[in-house]
Amino acid sequence: SPAQPLCGFSNAVVQILRLHGVEDYRAHDVLQDPDLRQGIKNYSNWPTIPQVYLNGEFVGGCDILLQMHQNGDLVEELKKLGIRSALLDKEKDQEKK
């Protein structure tokens, strides 16, 4: 769960989303359901968890989300969904100082 991620990769995804101010998302504990854990891997054809979907579209795992965060693509993808990244506001605040 986002309140207590059980692995470092899940924690990294939660932290990235928090940095951008994304709070409205769903998470599922795949450790409690082996069928769900394998099923999501089969569905996405992606071998690792966590898996990130934006508006129902598979984006990738922790490594992809981290890369998108670092290169600015995540800000743009969030914008397409009507979500303004909180990092944009932080940048404006720093420019004023």
Residue 62 annotated in ligand binding: no
Chain centroid to Cα 24, Å, comes to 11
Report d(CA 52, CA 44) in Å as an integer: 10
Report d(CA 10, CA 6) in Å as an integer: 7
Asked whether the beta carbons of 40 and 1 are under 8 A apart, the reply is no
Known binding-site residue numbers: 7
Q: Which residues are documented as binding site for [2Fe-2S] cluster?
A: 7
